[in-house]
Amino acid sequence: MINSDSNRNKIIKVFPKLLDDKSFKIIGNITPNYNCIAWAANVTDCWWSSLPLGERPTHGLDGVKYDWPFEVDDEFSIKTLTEIFTFLKYVECENYDYEEGFKKVAFYVKDGRATHAARQLTAIEAKGIWSSKLGASFLIHHGTPYDIESDAYGIPVKFMKKNMN
């Protein structure tokens, strides 16, 4: 079972704040086909990785497609993530609170380096819940962006939102 105690405990070891998160749930199997940045942009068929422009896209020996969208700089940084999501019609916002008619993303930093992106869900059954793809591992739900603050990902430092109308 995907949301088993064993799998949950593995994730909680890395993200201890999830222990008290009532929204924490494993919702997707381990897959290398996409990562957190792609997931935050609603992409599930490509691993978004900061590749030099002349090497985009590429395929790994495992068949996974790797790309870095929109001819942005090949640096993995908050600045570049902001450029990518601005291209996707997101604008900067002040917080992670749910706003009807908008979807939101959060970007994380550890030791001055971008590490992760999460997205807020808008479907009726998960409205306002956040979701993260944990590298090549599981896809999870969590209550807030701060529930996955950790030594692995650091802290959320920037929020952006997109009008869905």
Is there a domain that residue 42 lies in? no
Report the DSSP beta bridge partners of residue 67: 48
pLDDT for 65 equals: 95
Range of the domain at 12: 5-29+71-163
Is there a domain that residue 65 lies in? no
pLDDT digits (tens, 9 = 90+) for 33-45: 999 999 999 999 9
pLDDT for 58 equals: 93
Name the residue with higher pLDDT: 91 or 53.
91
Is there a domain that residue 34 lies in? no
pLDDT for 71 equals: 84
Take residue 162 and report the two structure tokens written for it: 């997109």
Concatenated DSSP letters of 141-153: EESSGGGG-BTTT
pLDDT for 75 equals: 87
Is there a domain that residue 142 lies in? yes
Is there a domain that residue 61 lies in? no
Is there a domain that residue 51 lies in? no
Is there a domain that residue 137 lies in? yes
Q: Is residue 15 classed as helix, strand or coil in its secondary structure? A: coil
Range 23-28 average pLDDT: 97
The backbone region for 158, taken as left when phi is positive above 0, alpha when psi lies in -120 to 50, beta otherwise, is beta
CA–CA distance, 90 with 105 (Å, rounded to integer): 9
pLDDT for 42 equals: 96
Amino acid at 19: L
Q: Average model confidence (pLDDT) for the chain?
A: 95
pLDDT at 73 over 90: no
Neighbours of 126 (CB within 10 A): 15
pLDDT digits (tens, 9 = 90+) for 125-134: 899 999 999 9
Range 150-163 average pLDDT: 98
Domain count, the chain: 1
Percentage of the chain lying above the pLDDT 90 cut:
85
Neighbours of 135 (CB within 10 A): 13
pLDDT at 149 over 90: yes
Is there a domain that residue 154 lies in? yes
